[in-house]
Chain A
Amino acid sequence: MLVLYVDDEADIREVVEYALEDEDDITLILCDNGEEAIEINAKQQPELILLDVMMPKMDGPETLRRIRTGTTNQDVPIAFITAKIQRTEVAFLKSLGVVDVIEKPFDPLALADRIRQIWEKCRG
């Protein structure tokens, strides 16, 4: 499964990379901003995007909106991964039409399973 992870925090990208490197069924692409994410989505057509919410320049919701209104791979399942975890914030994020909202800090050891779960959910 080709998964794109978008986060402006280099440390967290590194953690995610390390957490998923031994997972044979998950191929990870990393990028640090929304614009690049939109490009990668169009070119490489990932099967799932994990999208940070608070990013400089283009934030997660805007990135999501642009992907959805695009013409290539616009229906790709997207999950937010965010430290904005107040109930109203999560409810708002969910209402934007994502498959899941993963709260930071997440358990890195459970991340792979979480990704598979989301994937199952999308296909089901």
Chain B
Amino acid sequence: MLAPAYPDDEEDRLAALHALKIMDTAPQPQFDRMTRLATKLFNVPIALVSLCDAQRVWFKSRQGLDEAEAPRDISFCSYVILQNQAFIVENAATDHRFSDHPLVVGAPHIRFYAGVPLKAPNGARIGTLCIIDRIPRQLTSAEIDLLFDLGSTIEDDFVRQNISEVMNLYRSEQMRMQAVLDTVADGIITIDDKGAIQLANPAAKHLFGYEIDEILGRNVKMLMPQPYATEHDQYLTNFATTRKAKVIGIGREVTGLRKDGTLFPMELAVTEMAVDGKIQFVGVVRDISQRKKMERVKQDFVSTVSHELRTPLTSIRGALGLVLKKSGHLLPEKSLRMLETANRNSERLTRLVNDILDLEKIEGGQLDLELNHLDLRILLQQVVLANESYAIQHNITLRLHESETVAMVLADEHRLLQVMANLVSNAAKFSPEGSEVDIFLADTKPGFSRVCVQDHGRGIPEEFRDRIFGRFNQADASDSKDKGGTGLGLSISKAIVERHGGSIGYDSVLGAGSTFYFELPQQQLAPRLADAGTNGATSQPVLICEDNADVAEILRSLLEEEQIGSEIVATGQAAKAALMAKPYRLLLLDLTLPDMDGLSLLREIRATSGLENLQVIVVSGRALEGKRAWRGDALAVIDWLQKPLDEHRLLRAIKLAFANSVRRTILHVDDDADTLLVTQHLIEDLGSYDSATSLKIAREKLLERQYDLLLLDLNLLDGSGLELIPLLPPQTRVVVYSGTEPAQEVKDLIDAALKKGSSTSEDLLATIKTALNP
């Protein structure tokens, strides 16, 4: 026989068939009724409900036939499912497609076949209702219609079958979802767009101490203390108008309010969903009181342990060091060696305590950096000085390669020295005696400076390489000259470098040595101080009020190097006279003056009309005491510099003062009035302060004028503060000051970011100062 073609939608057809889950099921009366009815109505010996699978035709119901199924390729049914019309063979014996068919040639000697396609609920033709006779026959169109009517009834049964199947699935799925909701440890609460609670799971009930009935339908703000409750209303109102949800996101730390009035810290993640076209919000709440408590306990513990370990170490190390120095020569060789071992190990223990403390800070995300502009060339000179004696102990020469190019980075000097001490001591440890360790700068990546420490040792064994930055990992140190390491150094170094936005790595060739390096982003070189100001103010001199002629002279020449003119007065009275006579850009003030106290002078100056805003830097042997005693405005003095003078810090302060005298403009965009008020008070001395409570207002202000700095909240009532960034001229600095930490992509667009709540006013002030004076 001629094998039937396959329908174009074969795959979907099979999927629809299988979805019904009807294949190979037991006989069902509703189908058997139909086939029995067909044999009577059409007076045929055979009637079938057949279902056409990939390889076979299976009979869901059959009358007058023993076989339960037939191969698809030799079936009549496969022809039926190719078309929507009835498929009729009036005499198979004379039909070339079926004349040699086994069921035609042999029993049951089929001559007549008529079938209509049966469709799954989605319309796919999955089988047939067919009638078969042993004699040739014809069907009238009325009879064909009748056959279709029977077919439709069977199709209705398919649908019914399908619905009950889906209902079962749905029920078990729903039970599963309910079980998840009921047993999940996190509280789950959904609200509608008005804030009314639609659903709360048992964990949420437990967390807040309410029965479910007590909270369903009520406003979710009942679970929040002020000011969150009011804010929440604002969010929802805002959402209603802008369709922008403000609180969507993960892991905000907020405060929850229990039924009994107690508060607890919780982490809240909010997502938005649409149910029947209506917006709902899903809040997942986790009680983090335990975690908070643990964090505090851990911090206190580490701090205490560190202190408690240090105290006996002080005696041990002190005693050993002194004995070795003062009476080491009196001791027998063996005892001396033992004492030296003890001494070395007390030092190692000290390092270990320090490293563990560092590690703890790193883990707790508390590795704070004191960032300053540093020239890496100068840092490397310090590195050589600081590590030379260690190198000499190991008979190693540190070789610093001079670099022509300036390599300015924004970094924590102390921490970088720590990293370098680690790299250099590792290099020295694993170098052959008498060899050199090379320290140099390299330019490998645009915008980055790379510091390299190269040894000529045996290289890093292959099997150690992927663990090298791990904790408490030390290479087999049998050939190392010093076993005093803690195994934490590289791990800490990596964290420090990465905290600086840099990366650390190494190149190593077995037998030829290793080069460890780290890369930090370069900073633009600061402009000469004299250029920092603009307009006429630059011509004004600096007044130095200092009675020690030598110190005054040092300050004068320091300023001269920066091409800043200055005048010197030795007494408070002379200073007052000079300040009244003409304008000065800045006053450098000593606190111990022969005729009066510097602080009194400062008070008088501040009270004098025209001098209220004079920039002042205190340079004094009693600067720190002065700062403490100064009860006035913290911003009245740019910086309090303790003698002996830190020139670097002085120059920074001067630069800041000059920048201030230019009067910067700051626009602060935040929708919280209190924040604006507090911030204005805090920073209005840095420049002229302007504020906007919405994106809309901010946009208008940005059109009107150009600002030096934009202080930006990200979550505004009418959208994200980030929308303003494209509107800014390139010279406008951007500091994000928001409740949430911006994403890394965002950080690339801005100058700095501070998180509300976790940064102090001083952080904010310092960050803005730095941003204004890069």
User: Which A residues are closer than 8 A to B by beta carbons?
Assistant: 9, 11-12, 14-16, 18-19, 22, 54, 83-89, 94-95, 97, 104-109, 121-122, 124
For the complex, give the distance between the alpha carbons of A22 and B306 in Å: 31
Q: How far is the CB of A68 from chain B (nearest CB, A)?
A: 9
A-contacting 9-mer, from B137-145, B289-297, B451-459, B621-629: B621-629
| Partner of B624 from A97, A106, A108 at Cβ < 8 Å | A97
CB-based closest 7 A-B pairs: A15-B318, A83-B310, A11-B315, A105-B314, A108-B318, A104-B314, A83-B307
Count class of interface residues, chain B: 20 to 34
Q: How far is the CB of B66 from chain A (nearest CB, A)?
A: 90
15 residue pairs A–B, Cβ–Cβ below 8 Å: A11-B315, A15-B319, A18-B322, A85-B306, A95-B624, A97-B624, A105-B313, A105-B317, A106-B318, A107-B317, A108-B319, A109-B321, A109-B325, A124-B621, A124-B643
Q: How far is the CB of A87 from chain B (nearest CB, A)?
A: 7
* Any A CB within 8 A of the CB of B644: yes
The reply to whether B314 and A83 form a contact with Cβ atoms under 8 Å apart is yes
For the complex, give the distance between the alpha carbons of A11 and B318 in Å: 9
The reply to whether A107 and B311 form a contact with Cβ atoms under 8 Å apart is no
B321 proximity list for chain A (CB < 8 A): 107-109
* Any A CB within 8 A of the CB of B357: yes
The reply to whether A83 and B368 form a contact with Cβ atoms under 8 Å apart is no
The reply to whether B306 and A106 form a contact with Cβ atoms under 8 Å apart is no
B313 proximity list for chain A (CB < 8 A): 104-105
For the complex, give the distance between the alpha carbons of A12 and B312 in Å: 8
Q: How far is the CB of A103 from chain B (nearest CB, A)?
A: 8
For the complex, give the distance between the alpha carbons of A106 and B347 in Å: 10
For the complex, give the distance between the alpha carbons of A121 and B624 in Å: 13
* Any A CB within 8 A of the CB of B350: yes
For the complex, give the distance between the alpha carbons of A94 and B644 in Å: 16
| Partner of A83 from B306, B316, B319 at Cβ < 8 Å | B306
Q: How far is the CB of B486 from chain A (nearest CB, A)?
A: 16
A109 proximity list for chain B (CB < 8 A): 321-322, 325
For the complex, give the distance between the alpha carbons of A87 and B306 in Å: 13
Q: How far is the CB of B262 from chain A (nearest CB, A)?
A: 30
Q: Can you name the residue of chain A whose Cβ is closest to the Cβ of B320? A: A108
B310 proximity list for chain A (CB < 8 A): 83, 85, 104-105
For the complex, give the distance between the alpha carbons of A61 and B457 in Å: 50
For the complex, give the distance between the alpha carbons of A19 and B326 in Å: 9
The reply to whether B315 and A12 form a contact with Cβ atoms under 8 Å apart is yes
A87 proximity list for chain B (CB < 8 A): 368
Query: What's the dominant secondary structure at chain A's contact region?
Result: helix
The reply to whether B325 and A15 form a contact with Cβ atoms under 8 Å apart is no
Q: Can you name the residue of chain A whose Cβ is closest to the Cβ of B354? A: A85
For the complex, give the distance between the alpha carbons of A97 and B640 in Å: 12
Q: How far is the CB of A93 from chain B (nearest CB, A)?
A: 12
* Any A CB within 8 A of the CB of B534: no
* Any A CB within 8 A of the CB of B540: no
B357 proximity list for chain A (CB < 8 A): 85-86
The reply to whether A15 and B303 form a contact with Cβ atoms under 8 Å apart is no
For the complex, give the distance between the alpha carbons of A122 and B642 in Å: 10
The reply to whether A54 and B307 form a contact with Cβ atoms under 8 Å apart is yes
The reply to whether A12 and B625 form a contact with Cβ atoms under 8 Å apart is no
B624 proximity list for chain A (CB < 8 A): 94-95, 97
Supposing A97-B628, A124-B644 touch, asked if A108 and B322 sit within 8 A by C-beta, the answer is yes
Q: Can you name the residue of chain A whose Cβ is closest to the Cβ of B360? A: A86
Within 8 A of A (CB), among B666-681: none
Q: How far is the CB of B631 from chain A (nearest CB, A)?
A: 15
The reply to whether B306 and A86 form a contact with Cβ atoms under 8 Å apart is yes
Within 8 A of A (CB), among B354-408: 357, 361, 368
The reply to whether B314 and A15 form a contact with Cβ atoms under 8 Å apart is yes
Q: Can you name the residue of chain A whose Cβ is closest to the Cβ of B324? A: A109
For the complex, give the distance between the alpha carbons of A19 and B346 in Å: 17
A22 proximity list for chain B (CB < 8 A): 326
The reply to whether B644 and A19 form a contact with Cβ atoms under 8 Å apart is no
The reply to whether A12 and B318 form a contact with Cβ atoms under 8 Å apart is yes
For the complex, give the distance between the alpha carbons of A15 and B315 in Å: 6
B628 proximity list for chain A (CB < 8 A): 95, 97
Q: Which of A83, A89, A121 has the most CB of B within 10 A?
A: A83
Q: Can you name the residue of chain B whose Cβ is closest to the Cβ of A111? A: B318
For the complex, give the distance between the alpha carbons of A97 and B623 in Å: 9
B346 proximity list for chain A (CB < 8 A): 105
A108 proximity list for chain B (CB < 8 A): 317-319, 321-322
Q: How far is the CB of A86 from chain B (nearest CB, A)?
A: 6
| Partner of B318 from A16, A88, A95 at Cβ < 8 Å | A16
B326 proximity list for chain A (CB < 8 A): 18, 22
Q: How far is the CB of B322 from chain A (nearest CB, A)?
A: 5
Q: Can you name the residue of chain A whose Cβ is closest to the Cβ of B323? A: A18
The reply to whether A121 and B322 form a contact with Cβ atoms under 8 Å apart is no
B314 proximity list for chain A (CB < 8 A): 9, 12, 15, 83, 104-106
Other contacts beyond A18-B318, A83-B311, A106-B314: 10, CB < 8 A: A9-B311, A16-B318, A19-B322, A83-B314, A85-B357, A86-B306, A89-B303, A105-B316, A105-B350, A107-B321
B306 proximity list for chain A (CB < 8 A): 83, 85-86
For the complex, give the distance between the alpha carbons of A122 and B643 in Å: 8
The reply to whether B368 and A15 form a contact with Cβ atoms under 8 Å apart is no
A11 proximity list for chain B (CB < 8 A): 312, 315, 319
For the complex, give the distance between the alpha carbons of A124 and B624 in Å: 14
Q: Which of A19, A22, A54, A104 has the most CB of B within 10 A?
A: A104
For the complex, give the distance between the alpha carbons of A109 and B314 in Å: 12
Q: Can you name the residue of chain B whose Cβ is closest to the Cβ of A13? A: B315
The reply to whether B317 and A86 form a contact with Cβ atoms under 8 Å apart is no
Q: Can you name the residue of chain B whose Cβ is closest to the Cβ of A121? A: B644
For the complex, give the distance between the alpha carbons of A85 and B357 in Å: 10
For the complex, give the distance between the alpha carbons of A86 and B367 in Å: 11
Q: How far is the CB of A67 from chain B (nearest CB, A)?
A: 13
Q: Can you name the residue of chain A whose Cβ is closest to the Cβ of B625? A: A97
A86 proximity list for chain B (CB < 8 A): 303, 306, 357, 361
Within 8 A of A (CB), among B297-348: 303, 306-308, 310-319, 321-322, 325-326, 346
Q: How far is the CB of B355 from chain A (nearest CB, A)?
A: 13
Q: How far is the CB of A101 from chain B (nearest CB, A)?
A: 12
The reply to whether A105 and B621 form a contact with Cβ atoms under 8 Å apart is no
For the complex, give the distance between the alpha carbons of A57 and B326 in Å: 35
A122 proximity list for chain B (CB < 8 A): 621
For the complex, give the distance between the alpha carbons of A11 and B311 in Å: 10
For the complex, give the distance between the alpha carbons of A95 and B316 in Å: 30
The reply to whether B311 and A104 form a contact with Cβ atoms under 8 Å apart is yes
For the complex, give the distance between the alpha carbons of A107 and B326 in Å: 14
B368 proximity list for chain A (CB < 8 A): 87-88
Q: Which of A16, A87, A105 has the most CB of B within 10 A?
A: A105
For the complex, give the distance between the alpha carbons of A16 and B315 in Å: 9
The reply to whether B318 and A9 form a contact with Cβ atoms under 8 Å apart is no
A16 proximity list for chain B (CB < 8 A): 318
For the complex, give the distance between the alpha carbons of A12 and B319 in Å: 9
Supposing A97-B625, A121-B644 touch, asked if A15 and B322 sit within 8 A by C-beta, the answer is yes
Q: How far is the CB of A17 from chain B (nearest CB, A)?
A: 10
Q: How far is the CB of B301 from chain A (nearest CB, A)?
A: 13
A106 proximity list for chain B (CB < 8 A): 314, 318
A54 proximity list for chain B (CB < 8 A): 307
